[in-house]
Amino acid sequence: MSKITLTRYLIEHQRKNPQFTANLRLLIEVVARASKAISHAVNKGALTDILGEAGTGNVQGEAQKKLDVIANEVLLEANEWGGHLAAMASEEMDHPYFIPNQYPRGGYLLLFDPLDGSSNIDVNVSIGTIFSVLPTPEDKIPTETDFLQAGNKQVAAGYAIYGPQSLFVLTVGDGVHGFSLDRELGSWVLTQPNMRIPEETKEFAINMSNQRHWAAPVTRYINELLAGSEGPRGRDFNMRWVASMVADVHRILSRGGIFMYPWDKREPNKPGKLRLMYEANPMSFIVEQAGGKATDGTRRIMDIQPEGLHQRVAVFLGSSQEVERVTGYHAEAK
Ligand code: AHM
Ligand code: MG
């Protein structure tokens, strides 16, 4: 059978779902094409001048890497002229980028973390691009407030992972599908159709070095996992932490597990480290579409009404039984 490329998947999806617009299809194709360019840049590494610090900081006060800035530029340039977007927002920009007047304006908002897992760039460990798409009225000049929609309004979300293989993982609300970059063809080819997260798991992902700062329900949950076959769970668990959310979530999509970045006492006024709009919402959409769950310990992440573009959130996502358990521990602690 011939290979199903991303283009073919999108055209066939559109044929079956007339509400899936040509502009949304174009948008996804453009993001996938930009991800290909980012993948090539990541692959070059030290052969060109793209590693190391950019010497600038983002709105969160984090130092930007050269590749953070390059990936952000690639996504902006690829997406500004096609007529499919009204505006874009990025983890690396203080304010949204509104489509310049010289180009037509479309009915979508694109949000992205251009290069997630930045701390892994210079050590050649998997990194990725995460994106989320929200609808917006076409006939209205957009404002920053138009971005503040709950995750359940997303019409598409996905990530590209730049690892031993480059993959583009996508949901348009019809399951989760993974496409591998065929560098000879220059196409994304469907290799992981209908990705499903197993309900049960033996693997967890959390940065254990923050253990002493956690809240009681998280400590309780992790202590039970660590007690393994001698504890209340009656079986052993394994731990993995890549420190690239894309890589940790991709592993969970492939073989199950739970990913956690909880609130902790280091910065008690922040709900968590990860960003709702650029990381938690798109990953929650993907995880739910693959049969998993995603909460902030209390609420379904996709039901949170955002109050700010760069808002942070605690994250528990992955295999449904584990997410339910740790969310239940939070409820019991109240
Ligand atoms: P980034 O978007 O600046 O790369 O930060 C997000 C990353 C996630 O990919 C990852 O899960 C987390 O930060 C790792 O944090 P830590 O270094 O505290 O373990
Ligand atoms: Mg990130």
Per-residue pLDDT reduced to its tens digit, 71-85: 999 999 999 999 999
Which residue type is seen at 5? T
Cβ-proximal residues to 22 (8 Å cutoff; 6+ apart), any chain: 14
272 lines ligand 1 (CB under 6 A): no
Residue 52 banded pLDDT, cuts 50, 70, 90: confident
CB count within 10 Å of CB 19 equals: 7
Atom of ligand 1 nearest to the CA of 60: 3
Measured CA to CA, the distance from residue 176 to residue 169 in angstroms comes to 7
Q: Is the separation of the CB atoms in 129 and 251 below 8 Å?
A: no
At residue 329, does pLDDT exceed 80?
yes
pLDDT of residue 269: 95
pLDDT of residue 49: 79
Which residues sit with Cβ closer than 5 angstroms to ligand 2, an ion? 113, 116
Predicted TM-score (pTM) of the model is 0.97
Mean pLDDT of the chain: 96
Which domains does the chain carry?
A: 6-192 (3.30.540.10), 203-333 (3.40.190.80)
Cβ-proximal residues to 157 (8 Å cutoff; 6+ apart), any chain: 130, 131, 132, 133, 170, 171, 281, 282, 283, 285, 286
Among the bound ligands, name the one nearest to the CA of residue 129. 2
Q: Is the separation of the CB atoms in 70 and 50 below 8 Å?
A: yes
pLDDT of residue 55: 80
DSSP 266: T
Q: Look at ligand 1, atom 7, and give the residue with the nearest C-alpha.
A: 117
243 lines ligand 1 (CB under 6 A): yes
Q: Look at ligand 1, atom 6, and give the residue with the nearest C-alpha.
A: 117
Measured CA to CA, the distance from residue 287 to residue 243 in angstroms comes to 18
Measured CA to CA, the distance from residue 275 to residue 247 in angstroms comes to 16
Mean pLDDT of 3-16: 97
90 lines ligand 1 (CB under 6 A): no
At residue 316, does pLDDT exceed 80?
yes
Distances (CA, A) of 83 to 24, 26, 33, 129: 11, 9, 16, 22
Mean pLDDT of 182-198: 97
At residue 51, does pLDDT exceed 90?
no
pLDDT of residue 64: 83
Q: Look at ligand 1, atom 16, and give the residue with the nearest C-alpha.
A: 243
245 lines ligand 1 (CB under 6 A): yes
68 lines ligand 1 (CB under 6 A): no
At residue 46, does pLDDT exceed 90?
no
Mean pLDDT of 154-176: 98
pLDDT of residue 60: 77
Distances (CA, A) of 35 to 11, 111, 297, 298: 20, 14, 32, 34
Ligand 2 center from residue 102 Cα (angstroms) = 31
117 lines ligand 1 (CB under 6 A): yes
207 lines ligand 1 (CB under 6 A): yes
Measured CA to CA, the distance from residue 131 to residue 294 in angstroms comes to 17
pLDDT of residue 179: 98
Ligand 2 center from residue 321 Cα (angstroms) = 26
Least confident of 36-40, 56-60, 155-159, 241-245: 56-60
126 lines ligand 1 (CB under 6 A): no
Mean pLDDT of 162-167: 97
Give the pLDDT confidence of 247-303 residue by residue, as tens digits.
Answer: 999 999 999 999 999 999 999 999 999 999 999 999 999 999 999 999 999 999 999
Give the pLDDT confidence of 23-36 residue by residue, as tens digits.
Answer: 999 999 999 999 99
pLDDT of residue 1: 66
Give the pLDDT confidence of 112-145 residue by residue, as tens digits.
Answer: 999 999 889 989 999 999 999 999 998 889 999 9
